[in-house]
A and B are shown apart, each in its own frame.
Chain A
């Protein structure tokens, strides 16, 4: 970070360190460095008195880690406290700790569900699936194909027959997925 030195109180650092055994001090500083880089004019380097700073979604999705992700907006939104995509530094740390390698599967499943639940109704319904698919494939599939895939996916995972996926369905499905843990993480 060069001569820019992030200032945290000891307590803050301590808390962060204990909270998340992977986030070491250095990583933490670098995380804050990244956070700072996103909006240098907004984020102070001095964090001793807990300033209430939030970075808007538009800036965060431009991070190289997220830039290519088709769900970047959803990711940021589901980690922001206000649901609009404005991330405080805490949210920011939270995001990368959930998306880190060490986060447990259940936690990842919870946030994956949030991410794929576009309309925030706590179900993944057909619209959500369609949106997911369209983002995933950049709308290369024909509407019929999308429709078919959505129906099939719901049919497969929907165990209670309500034609949409509740979190239980989702978790059940995702816990059996072989690749989920290896793919659902972001390296910062």
Chain B
């Protein structure tokens, strides 16, 4: 009972995966729910409460889910863009949103662990030296240009590294700020790495099937080319153009008729283009380096810098990042590659350019830092000297002299006294001027990065407004008064270049990663920037852009973007790590001031704040004795995993190959089978026609009438055929065994099953086609047999393994398109099926009444659709006579109600459900038997025909089912009248119900066979017989049946 409810619930859960018309879905759903409602309460009270609770929970979770969806930022906006411009453009915005998410987390990390504690518990502004603005700067600290260049108040704020104090514990709680600063700085990278890798892994898992090397270029170009989301005429037009383009490209790839007029010219052009690109790359790197150098000199020379001089570096870098891609594009036109190749080249070049920019910038900055820190060293020495000189002792002086003479290049000294006085002056002077300047190189780097980011944002906004918006306006409104068509010729509308824009985002994120350690608020700034960018870009896209012609493939490019981002992250992490490891932290500012190296904070913490044993352990762990083996182990692990991956790949390809060869060899076998059949066909026509039911019921091998003629060759091939197919059905049915027992199958089975399924259906399709080529009716009929048999048996099973819900084979056969050739034959079987079920059900009439009482409306509704499905199929008609024959043979009385009968069998889903259920209740013995048989048939599936002959159970069942067979004649018509009062059916699991259906087929076969057996061929039964001989038996019995009929 509980199982039944579970099954019904399963139906409810999975109903939407079914390709039925919605009316049927609703009907099935309603009944399933009714059953659930009715019986759930009956089980136990607690279970009822449980169910109610689960229901409530589900509702709440639904509501919550809806709310969550509501709060996904920009969901509607992105959807709108998606529906206008297709998924390619939307992928840019999704990527942007994803980056936004990362930056939010980074912001929270830095904000919660660094900025807030410093603001709350740290010494307030103006109390320490690193937090006060030097006096001579105080006057200009509020000037706009100072603020603009991030000097003044901004420089001495939480924005930058320099502001943070180096007190080990701050506040009453003793928050270790320096340690937190270091840890967060590292965590930013760690988090970014982890999220990136996880996302990539997820993406690659999702595109697993796409990663296969099977190539359906043209098919995909045709069937997957159109983006159904496109709803904008312009986008549709450009998409159409892109499709034409891509098709032409792949045609030209196929034809390999590249008429290169002058290969030499082309090659030289390409070389030239590459040289140009290289030149511009080196030029840009040189310019950046030069600019940084110049700004450094300017700073040293001039006390006051103009606005331009202050922002020179970032403006130049932003200009280069803006202009160079367009230049590359121009250059790429020289090369005359395929658009796709040129796009790839373009992307690679732009990425290199961005990286080069960032790297040259950071190297130049670090260079500057180098010189700065050497200056600082001077300074610190001289200040320490100052301290000592206040004592003014002779020994001190004597020790200091060489130092000073070295460094100060002094004109100072002849005599000691002279020197002393002079030194006093110079040192004091230096102390007053330069140490007040507080050369905090970390702050400087952070400033530069933030400045770069700001300028970049401004340039982006400007380029969107100028290049896209103004251009769009001009094109839109001036095209009338211009002599050429502005919209299609020169200026056109701005294209939305997905790939380049994504690259720009990546570059931007790289900047953030590079500077985050030195400027903890950089992620927060980036969040704002991304928000702004999101709105601006989406607006620009919707108003004045057309999508790029070379549309990037959305799903593939996702991982492509991420790979580039990962690359960027790694490369941006390097300079930061390098700076942390290589340079000494500034002496008077920042959380690490006074330390020799930044990472000393860790060892210091371990030494001071942890118990002794921990530091001991740490010292062991960090000793080379442990680290080297650990590294080795890691390498070994990586190697091992990689080799496993490689071997899996090989296995994969081998399996695929095997699958292909299997399918082809099977085709060959079937071909052989038919060629063999063709010869004796003429003589067998008539008996074949007569015997079609029984022969159709049994498998291909058992049907072959030629065997009756005693020709061994004819016998041979069908057996082989049967074997080969049987292996498939068996393996397919295996995962289904646990299902029949009410358990769920392991998901690992689904893929092979699916494959097999497609194989089989393909198979049957093939059979259909071959038979189609042969006109003769009987042959046609025969050709269908194998596929009917196997499609009938295997199809529902496959379906079930694929989706646990697919329990009604009739529905599947009626609706699904799997193996359409086989379809019509399956139809025949279903028909019989139904008949048989009726026969059997006559024992347990209750459910059927229900069904029929329930059904008429449905029939009326569904019938047209089914007609649509069925009528166009030519085989259908050819089968009609057989149908009638069968029915007449089977059930002469019922032939009168064949019409209604046939109607009712098509829209059968509900009926199945109920009748099987009722079957289960109503006569337990039978149903149990049939259940067993269901299981049994599942296990055997393919080779039942051999085995049941030997099986005692079936032998027992033989007469019984024969009895059932006889029964329906009793009351063919009352079924319409009986009340649906007993309708409640607590069916066994639906799986088993479908099994029952299967088994009913089998039973039927058995009925006949067993009858025959009992009558005539009992003697043939021996358990020790070899398979083939058993098959012979089977065929023998079949033949008997045939003749009997």
Contacts and interface: CB of A to CB of B under 8 A. Distances in A.
Interface stretch (A32-40, A41-49, A140-148): A140-148
Given A153-B218, A183-B87, A91 B758 contact: no
B247 A137 contact: yes
Nearest to A155: B218
Given A21-B62, A160-B766, A137 B231 contact: no
Contacts of A173: 216, 219-220, 223
Contacts of B17: 103-104, 106-107
B220 A177 contact: yes
B887 interface: no
Contacts of A120: 868, 872
- For the complex of A and B, list the 4 residue pairs with the smallest distance between their C-beta atoms, beginning with the closest: A178-B210, A167-B817, A68-B236, A122-B820
Interface centre among A97, A136, A161 (most CB of B within 10 A): A136
Interface string A75-112: 00000011100000011011001010011101100111
Contacts, number: 224
A52 to B, nearest CB: 10
Interface of B: 12, 15-19, 21-23, 25-26, 29-30, 33, 62, 66, 79, 82-83, 86-87, 207, 209-210, 212, 214-233, 235-236, 240, 243-244, 247-248, 251, 254, 553-556, 663, 667, 758, 761-763, 765-766, 769, 802-803, 816-821, 823, 861, 864-865, 868, 872-873
A183 B25 contact: no
B22 A91 contact: yes
B224 to A, nearest CB: 5
A70 interface: yes
Contacts of B214: 176
A182 B554 contact: yes
A168 B762 contact: yes
A9 interface: no
Given A18-B12, A159-B663, A183-B87, 15 more contacts: A15-B26, A83-B868, A90-B21, A90-B23, A106-B17, A110-B19, A113-B817, A136-B240, A160-B762, A160-B765, A160-B766, A167-B818, A175-B209, A177-B220, A181-B555
A145 B226 contact: no
Given A19-B26, A148-B251, A82 B864 contact: yes
Contact of B769 (A103, A114, A145, A160): A160
A176 B227 CA distance: 17
A65 B83 contact: yes
Nearest to A97: B16
16 contacts: A18-B12, A21-B62, A68-B230, A81-B861, A107-B18, A110-B816, A133-B247, A153-B218, A156-B217, A167-B816, A167-B820, A168-B765, A168-B818, A169-B762, A179-B556, A182-B555
A61 interface: no
B547 to A, nearest CB: 13
A110 to B, nearest CB: 5
Contacts of A28: none
Nearest to A71: B226
Given A107-B17, A176-B212, A168 B758 contact: yes
A187 B224 contact: no
Contacts of A140: 240, 244
Contacts of B251: 145, 148-149
A60 interface: no
A127 interface: no
A153 B254 CA distance: 12
Nearest to B760: A168
Nearest to A179: B224
Interface centre among A18, A99, A184 (most CB of B within 10 A): A18
B763 A160 contact: yes
B998 to A, nearest CB: 21
B16 A166 contact: no
B29 A15 contact: yes
Contacts of A152: 217-218, 254
A180 B87 CA distance: 11
A43 B554 CA distance: 39
Contacts of B554: 179, 182-183
B761 A166 contact: yes
Contact of A93 (B22, B222, B243, B823): B22
Contact of A167 (B217, B235, B819, B861): B819
A62 interface: no
A109 to B, nearest CB: 9
A19 B30 CA distance: 10
Interface centre among B87, B229, B667, B818 (most CB of A within 10 A): B229
B220 A182 contact: no
B754 to A, nearest CB: 8
Interface residues of A, number: 78
B83 A187 contact: yes
B721 to A, nearest CB: 16
A149 B231 contact: no
Contact of B803 (A67, A106, A184): A106
A104 B251 CA distance: 32
B549 to A, nearest CB: 14
Interface centre among B216, B218, B230, B864 (most CB of A within 10 A): B218
B860 to A, nearest CB: 11
Contacts of A68: 230-233, 235-236
Contacts of B25: 19
B29 A183 contact: no
A182 B30 CA distance: 32
Contact of B229 (A138, A162, A178, A186): A186
B210 A177 contact: yes
Contacts of B663: 159
A122 B873 contact: yes
B230 A69 contact: yes
A153 B232 contact: no
Contacts of B865: 81-83
A177 B219 CA distance: 9
A149 to B, nearest CB: 6
Contacts of A181: 555
A37 B651 CA distance: 56
Contacts of A118: none
Contact of A19 (B16, B248, B766, B872): B16
Nearest to B820: A122
A107 B212 CA distance: 22
Contacts of B26: 15, 19, 90
A95 to B, nearest CB: 9
A55 interface: no
A180 B224 contact: yes
A18 B36 CA distance: 14
A94 B26 CA distance: 11
Nearest to A12: B26
